[in-house]
């Protein structure tokens, strides 16, 4: 009996160990499943290189890979020659200036400080368009027999998606990845079989392109470019943007042929590629692009955003990855080397997790939940995976020409929710980049400079009668006009611009890109601020303004005021390094900052006011934490300094709040804002923001609870987790690592370069994460941090100051105790082992 039990246990052990698919990373750093994906937003697995993206359900004899090209959008000037970014006409400029004056007057004179609408300033969204899916690539493998030993996985150590299965004595493996250095994606199929198997060569493979599966995509022309290359050319609509894919097949030892079907009258041409007799492997490599051109988004190009036909560039790009001597092993090795050098080599987190290799990821996710007070055991392994997945997704989508959008670069169908565009959510996409040493944000800044600034300058002029700087209200094709009222929120992007410099001290980048962006937006706000004629306290306020996606339309919104204050501080902090000699501009900024309402007012129920007029409702559980932007990711609240930010005019009196009073007010507001499960939006991103905000306040339990919802079987974050086909929104995935980091290591910004930076170790460590380590984290001031903890307490912390760093004063704090106060110098290293 005893022996039986032992044998049974051994057998179970063997079964358990063998349950992940062959090749799954032994580190456990991946997602795996024992069945094919069905619902795209819940079950398919994403790969991408920034330029291209693809999702796979993990099919066997039939595989359907869904494709994306980062710039494939409907709408814009491609669809409407009169498209002007949702702006007013030049002839309306005076009328707008008058209307704005009237609106300001109405706002200030209103007893409640607000007005119904600013309809007169807004324009119809027109051909705003949407980010769109680019079709499906079908692969048909003529293998026969029952499929057994099926498994599929996404390897986060190597950025590859794989499917493995057995059929008729042969073990098949299909691998999918997109390589950033080659800008190409590859799908490889191979097999191994025992000598007794009847399978001697790879069964015939047929590759085809389908537009029918991509909801709304018109059929393109699919033709044979040559005997081994399929060419797909189509328009996203008529008229609209052109896109092209070139799909090349390689089959060592076998034959590749491309066959065009006879063209029936009225149908676009179609063709397929067929591979037969390959010795052991065959693969396709595809490249794709559109005629969108980021460099054509300025006045000189007539804001056309139109570039040349992408065909020639694609041909030469493809030739580089498909020379006759290019082996699959070499393309794969190049891809893995690149991915790891950017993503996994510079940084690692360990939460003390044990990989749970015996349970598929979908089953783990079904069981995963944290009770409302953050008490339950949680699952270290899932939390570690979600963290790594966020960095994987950012790395795989940010390194193209355009920034990650609301779905990264992964979108299915030609019309996507909220157009998959870039407003506040996209800003969230990059929260984790600086702190986890993922240097992928530069394309985003280039995009702001080339896509937003030019038309934003036009908007500043026509809508605000402001002739310097720029403002935008939304995204691609330089949509800068005011849609529904959404305020002018370009200032919030500038937090990133400053942060990137603060983390890297990359002076060349600051001079060429960061400073011009910051100066442009600061110039606009300098001219757009007006004196508060409601309270007559001689402060400067934004008017009209609103909190994102919320009424009322009022003045002095905390969100705008806090950000503009931070923006003006960044101008002062970055002026010297910019090399700019415009000291008048600097002085104007400093004078305006002196008069600026800082957006920190404590209201009647102890809350941090969302607007300057105290009208917050304690039952408002709105998804946005607009007025808490200074708590996270900003610092106007988190680093509140009464000597700099006080006193505040309130009802004719001057009050000076203490930092604790301000933090308490922020906490009151945060608690009343609820847990982000409202019927209006049970979305992931609002939880990630709440989690980071609770971590900022040192509330580990609530931080931990907020992290646990809205993730599907493929770990995509969802808009409504209870929908059978939920909407995917990537912002919570990408914000997840930043929320976790904010619980482990905090160093919020400070208003001046002379103010000491406080680096707090383990400020909100949940009980569930008693031991762990971080390698390669970064904090501002050009400082890299390695941290180890055990028994819920730090055991070792190492700080290394980069060689380019500007000297700063820092304080290192743990559990309220200052462990060290020092001035950094370039190259300094400091190790702390006693806490
Ligand atoms: C897949 O895994 C689940 C959970 O371990 C198990 O219940 C199920 O039987 C497996 N399915 C197959 C086809 O192996
Ligand atoms: C627009 O701004 C200019 C310069 O400040 C000013 O002279 C002009 O009166 C403004 N136009 C209107 C219609 O307010
Ligand atoms: C906007 O407000 C103005 C002034 O109060 C009013 O006349 C107008 O009807 C309102 N428009 C809409 C669309 O609500
Ligand atoms: C598929 O393979 C079978 C043999 O297993 C063969 O008879 C058949 O012709 C093949 N079909 C195609 C489309 O290659
Ligand atoms: C081919 O597939 C087998 C599994 O059948 C795998 O072990 C092997 O490494 C693969 N070869 C290549 C070159 O990818
Ligand atoms: C082209 O042919 C393939 C294979 O028959 C088919 O699946 C696909 O839908 C066709 N494409 C178009 C655009 O009709
Ligand atoms: C598709 O082919 C037709 C002719 O068959 C041609 O008129 C059309 O311009 C082609 N479309 C694209 C996008 O190349
Ligand atoms: C969110 O808060 C509501 C109201 O307090 C509560 O009923 C619900 O259980 C909470 N849900 C989660 C997931 O925290
Ligand atoms: C502010 O000044 C305006 C006139 O400039 C006046 O109408 C208004 O009543 C004043 N408001 C307060 C609160 O004093």
C-beta of residue 381 within 8 angstroms of C-beta of residue 356: yes
Q: Is the CB of 204 under 6 A from ligand 4?
A: yes
Q: Is the CB of 677 under 6 A from ligand 8?
A: yes
Q: Which residue's CA is minimally distant from atom 3 of ligand 3?
A: 117
Given this model, what pLDDT does residue 653 score? 81
337-375 pLDDT, tens digit each: 999 999 999 999 999 999 999 999 999 999 998 877 777
Q: Nearest bound ligand to CA 528?
A: 2
Residue 252 lies in a domain: yes
**C-alpha span between 811 and 797 (Å, rounded):** 13
CATH of the domain at 560: 1.50.10.10
Q: Do residues 336 and 448 both lie within one domain?
A: no
Q: Which two tokens stand for residue 392?
A: 């994987």
C-beta of residue 609 within 8 angstroms of C-beta of residue 598: no
Residue 725 lies in a domain: no
Domain that holds residue 39: 35-74+135-342
**Ligand 6 interacting residues, C-beta cut-off 6 A:** 138, 208-212, 219, 222, 270, 272
Point out the ligand 6 atom lying closest to the alpha carbon of residue 219: 13
**Ligand 3 interacting residues, C-beta cut-off 6 A:** 116-117, 119
As for how many domains the chain has, the answer is 3
Residue 756 lies in a domain: no
Q: Which two tokens stand for residue 672?
A: 């009343």
Nearest to 690 by CA among 667, 712, 665, 663: 667
Of 313, 342, 371, at which residue does a domain stop? 342
CATH of the domain at 195: 2.70.98.50
Residue 513 lies in a domain: yes
User: Residues 351, 353, 355, CA angle at the centre, nearest 5°?
Assistant: 145
Tokens 């301000």 belong to residue: 662
**C-alpha span between 732 and 691 (Å, rounded):** 11
C-beta of residue 557 within 8 angstroms of C-beta of residue 545: yes
Q: Collect all residues with Cβ–Cβ distance below 8 Å to 251 and sequence separation of at least 6.
A: 202, 205, 275, 276, 277, 278, 281, 282, 283
**Ligand 7 interacting residues, C-beta cut-off 6 A:** 221, 233-235, 242, 268-269
Point out the ligand 7 atom lying closest to the alpha carbon of residue 235: 13
Cis peptide before 552 (omega within 30 of 0): yes
**C-alpha span between 474 and 481 (Å, rounded):** 8
Best residue among 109, 535, 536, 541 to mutate for probing ligand 9's pocket (most ligand atoms within 8 Å of CB) is 536
C-beta of residue 796 within 8 angstroms of C-beta of residue 787: yes
Best residue among 110, 533, 541, 614 to mutate for probing ligand 9's pocket (most ligand atoms within 8 Å of CB) is 533
Q: Do residues 333 and 441 both lie within one domain?
A: no
Q: Do residues 521 and 629 both lie within one domain?
A: yes
Residue 180 lies in a domain: yes
Q: Which residue's CA is minimally distant from atom 7 of ligand 2?
A: 465
Best residue among 211, 219, 221 to mutate for probing ligand 7's pocket (most ligand atoms within 8 Å of CB) is 221
Q: Do residues 179 and 320 both lie within one domain?
A: yes
Residue 274 lies in a domain: yes
Given this model, what pLDDT does residue 317 score? 97
Kindly give the distance from the C-alpha atom of residue 261 to the centroid of ligand 7, in angstroms, as a whole number. 15
Q: Which two tokens stand for residue 690?
A: 């709440």
Given this model, what pLDDT does residue 424 score? 56
The beta strand positions in 393-537, using DSSP E, are 530-531
Q: Do residues 180 and 317 both lie within one domain?
A: yes
Q: Do residues 441 and 316 both lie within one domain?
A: no
Q: Do residues 322 and 454 both lie within one domain?
A: no
Q: Nearest bound ligand to CA 149?
A: 1
Best residue among 233, 240, 243, 266 to mutate for probing ligand 7's pocket (most ligand atoms within 8 Å of CB) is 233
Q: Is the CB of 359 under 6 A from ligand 9?
A: no
Residue 523 lies in a domain: yes
Best residue among 97, 101, 103 to mutate for probing ligand 2's pocket (most ligand atoms within 8 Å of CB) is 97
Q: Collect all residues with Cβ–Cβ distance below 8 Å to 785 and sequence separation of at least 6.
A: 745, 759, 774, 777, 778, 779, 797, 798, 799, 800
Q: Establish how many alpha carbons lie within 13 A of residue 318's alpha carbon, considering only the half-sphere containing its beta carbon.
A: 25
Kindly give the distance from the C-alpha atom of residue 99 to the centroid of ligand 3, in angstroms, as a whole number. 12
Of 297, 325, 342, at which residue does a domain stop? 342
Pair type for strands 809-814 and 757-761 = parallel
Q: Establish how many alpha carbons lie within 13 A of residue 189's alpha carbon, considering only the half-sphere containing its beta carbon.
A: 31
Give the number of other CB atoms < 10 A from CB of residue 830: 15
Q: Give the bridge partners for 810, in sequence order.
A: 757, 822
Q: Do residues 500 and 624 both lie within one domain?
A: yes
Of 305, 325, 342, at which residue does a domain stop? 342
Residue 431 lies in a domain: no
Mark out the alpha helices in 31-131 (DSSP H runs): 40-43, 93-109
Q: Do residues 441 and 338 both lie within one domain?
A: no
Kindly give the distance from the C-alpha atom of residue 233 to the centroid of ligand 7, in angstroms, as a whole number. 8
Q: Do residues 455 and 576 both lie within one domain?
A: yes
Q: Do residues 449 and 331 both lie within one domain?
A: no
**Which segments in the chain show pLDDT lower than 70?**
1-18, 420-425, 474-478, 483-493, 651
Cis peptide before 520 (omega within 30 of 0): no
């Amino acid at each position: 009996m005893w022996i039986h039990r032992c044998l049974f246990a051994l057998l179970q052990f063997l079964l358990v160990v063998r349950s992940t698919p062959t090749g799954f990373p032994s580190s456990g750093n991946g997602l795996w499943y024992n069945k094919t994906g069905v619902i795209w937003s819940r079950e398919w697995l994403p790969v991408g290189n920034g330029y291209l993206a693809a999702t796979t359900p993990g099919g066997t004899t039939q595989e359907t890979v869904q494709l994306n090209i980062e710039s494939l959008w409907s709408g814009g000037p491609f669809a409407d020659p009169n498209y002007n970014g949702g702006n007013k006409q030049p002839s309306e400029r005076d009328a707008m200036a008058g209307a704005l004056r009237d609106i300001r007057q109405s706002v200030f004179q209103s007893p409640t400080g607000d007005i119904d609408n600013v309809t007169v300033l807004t324009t119809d969204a027109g051909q705003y368009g949407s980010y769109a899916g680019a079709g499906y690539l079908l692969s048909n493998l003529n293998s026969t027999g029952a499929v057994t030993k099926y498994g599929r996985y996404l390897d986060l150590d190597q950025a590859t998606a794989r499917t493995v299965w057995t059929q008729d004595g042969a073990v098949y493996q299909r691998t999918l990845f997109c390589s950033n250095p080659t800008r190409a994606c590859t799908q490889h199929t191979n097999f191994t079989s025992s000598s007794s198997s009847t399978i001697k060569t790879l069964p015939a493979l047929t590759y085809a392109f389908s537009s029918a599966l991509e909801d709304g995509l018109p059929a393109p022309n699919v033709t044979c470019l040559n005997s081994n290359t399929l060419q797909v050319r189509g328009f996203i609509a008529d008229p609209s943007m052109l896109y092209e894919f070139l799909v090349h097949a390689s089959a060592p030892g076998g034959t590749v042929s491309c066959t065009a079907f006879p063209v029936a009258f009225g149908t676009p041409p179609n063709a397929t590629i067929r591979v037969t007799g390959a010795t052991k492997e065959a693969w396709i490599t595809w490249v794709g692009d559109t005629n969108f051109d980021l460099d054509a988004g300025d006045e000189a190009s007539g804001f056309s955003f139109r570039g040349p036909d992408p065909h020639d560039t694609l041909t030469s790009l493809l030739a580089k990855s498909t020379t006759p001597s290019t082996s699959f092993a070499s393309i794969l090795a190049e891809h893995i080397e690149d991915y790891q050098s950017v993503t996994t080599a510079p940084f690692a987190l360990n939460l003390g997790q044990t990989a749970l290799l015996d349970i598929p990821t979908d089953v783990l996710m079904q069981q995963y939940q944290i009770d409302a007070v953050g008490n339950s055991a949680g699952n270290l392994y899932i939390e570690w995976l979600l963290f790594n997945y966020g960095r994987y997704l950012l790395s795989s989508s940010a390194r193209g020409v355009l920034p990650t959008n609301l779905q990264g670069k992964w979108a299915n169908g030609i019309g996507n929710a909220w157009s998959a565009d870039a407003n506040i959510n996209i800003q969230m996409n990059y929260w984790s980049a600086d702190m986890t040493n993922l240097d992928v944000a530069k394309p985003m800044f280039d995009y702001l400079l080339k896509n937003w600034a030019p038309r934003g300058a036009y908007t500043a002029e026509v809508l605000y009668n402001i002739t310097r700087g720029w403002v935008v209200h939304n995204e691609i094709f330089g949509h800068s006009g005011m849609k529904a009222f959404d305020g002018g929120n370009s200032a919030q992007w500038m937090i990133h611009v400053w942060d990137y410099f603060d983390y890297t001290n990359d002076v060349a980048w600051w001079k060429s890109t960061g400073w011009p962006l910051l100066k442009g937006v600061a110039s606009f706000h300098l001219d757009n601020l007006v004196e508060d004629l409601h309270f007559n306290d001689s402060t400067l306020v934004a008017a009209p303004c609103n909190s994102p996606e919320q009424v009322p339309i009022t003045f002095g919104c905390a969100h705008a005021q806090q950000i503009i204050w931070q923006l003006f501080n960044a101008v002062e902090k970055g002026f010297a390094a910019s090399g700019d000699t415009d000291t008048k501009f600097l002085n104007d900024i400093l004078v305006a900052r002196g008069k600026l309402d800082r957006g920190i007012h404590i209201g009647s129920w102890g809350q941090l006011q969302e607007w300057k007029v105290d009208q917050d409702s304690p039952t408002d559980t709105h998804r946005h934490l607009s007025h808490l932007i200074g708590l996270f990711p900003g610092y106007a609240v988190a680093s509140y300094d009464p000597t700099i930010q006080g006193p505040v005019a309130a009802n004719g009196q001057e009050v000076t709040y203490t930092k604790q009073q301000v933090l308490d007010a922020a906490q009151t507001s945060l608690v009343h804002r609820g847990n982000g499960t409202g019927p209006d939006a049970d979305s992931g991103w609002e939880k990630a923001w709440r989690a980071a905000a609770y971590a900022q306040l040192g509330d580990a339990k609530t931080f931990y609870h907020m992290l646990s919802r809205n993730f599907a079987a493929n770990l995509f974050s969802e808009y409504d987790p209870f929908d059978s086909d939920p909407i995917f929104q990537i912002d919570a995935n990408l914000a997840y690592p930043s929320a976790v980091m904010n619980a482990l290591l905090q160093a919020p910004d400070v208003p001046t370069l002379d103010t000491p930076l406080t680096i707090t170790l383990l400020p909100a460590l949940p009980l569930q994460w008693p031991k762990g380590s971080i390698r390669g984290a970064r904090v501002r001031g050009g400082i890299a941090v390695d941290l180890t903890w055990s028994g819920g307490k730090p055991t070792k912390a190492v700080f290394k100051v980069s060689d380019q760093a500007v000297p700063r004063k820092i304080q290192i704090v743990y559990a309220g105790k200052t462990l060290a106060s020092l001035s950094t110098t370039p190259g300094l290293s400091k190790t702390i082992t006693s806490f």
